[in-house]
Structure 1
Amino acid sequence: GSSESSQRGGGERKKIDGFSTRARRNLRETAHSLDRSAEGLFITLTYHEHLPSPEECKRDLDAWWKRVQRRYPGLSAIWKMEPQERGYPHFHLLIFGASYIPIDWLSSSWHEVTAEKSDDHLSKAVDVESFINIDGKLQAYMAEYMTETYDGWPGAEPGDPWAEMGRWWGCLGRDRLPISRWADWKVHLTQTDACELIRFLLDEWDVDIPDGVVPPSLLVNCVGDPCDRLDRLLQVLES
């Protein structure tokens, strides 16, 4: 996941105060690296009456995940923290390795690790949906739903803990995430052919670039078999 901080000169740590474009890009790349046939659960965890600090939020998530792991070992997840309209935080999680976890247990375990006391929180604080990742639709959904960029936590003033709230997203059980494995298939192109393919793709995507300027490389996230996509692109050179 994204790192809590980065180093500057003299060893001083730079605080993370917004969900930056770089953090969003890292989340998107992680999402696109997942096995496109992976199944799992999409879970939302919310707060009701208690407004926690960023540190409390992360601690609650960690305590809850430990309970999940004890009961359902071998799971992995990607999490994202977002603000609700009223400024309270909530978590979105994509959990892999389970197609079903009783919502009653999820709700009670989340309720127990937070400082919430209300019956409404116990009954309404967790939402869960199962998903089947077909043709990369999960990645597309994540890119749209989980990667909105924020300059900072809405309404947070200087000195407010939420003004420097740390990581907005991360991975749980990263080594168990269903990472896709690419086919070991290489195609060697001349510089002219490679530039022609890049120009074709940029034109197909209606990307404006200065006349005569071609990027030296291009990373393409495709739906379906990447080998099939490359085959179709190579046919462009023959036409």
Structure 2
Amino acid sequence: MTPAPPQRRTCQNCNSMFLQSARPGRPSTMCSEDCKRAARRKNGAPPDLTRAETDMNETAENLNHVASNLLAAVQDRAPSAHLLHHITVLHRLIDDAEAAAIRRGRMQGNTWETLAEPVGLSPEAVVKRKVGYTWKLREVMAAHGIFTTTELVPMLRDRGIELSASQIHRLVSGTPERLSLQVLAAFCDIFACTPADLVTTTAENAGVRKTATGDVPAPPSAVAKLRPRPARILPDA
């Protein structure tokens, strides 16, 4: 079944054009979450904090769970490799918690200056964005009953794309950092899909890591006192 093409809509907040993939339910009237929040502020409606509060609660619960597991592992004298696994997960969850707290604060109306002050950073450092993408060619192939990369060689050749089986294997098994638009267009034609079906993108405020208490760098004067003095070579008596 050929998916319906995306529909062109006009954002009711910024009046810019945006494309919306065909999906059930009420169509979107805003092009982004920022425009949704801006529209609520214009209308005087309070922000909907349900999602932000849910994210914050879930992240805090996950932190508590993993920290409890780490404590239990330490008390059971677990191998260091096991402890490092819990610590690695904790680092990731701390980043997630910081990002969730920033999103929650912004939805509550906090300024970037207010959010940056507790972590000792500039507002510009807090507002940094983290973007990513997921390459879904393998999933799209499977949905069309194609499970070997060699099947794509003649299909791409018919569309003027000459790629070897090994090159196509790397495209399917890995996540390409660079991709020709002509190749992307050929995949869309082969599978009767849109680029959004092959690539999904994510963007969020990047979490900032707070300096732990007691880890404050020593002042320059204190560091200078710790520097070794050059040795003096005395003449033989």
With the shorter chain as reference, the TM-score category is under 0.3
Higher Rg:
2
Larger strand percent = 1
* TM-score calculated relative to the size of structure 2: 0.21
Q: Which has the higher contact order (CA 8 A, sep 6+)?
A: 1
More helix by share: 2
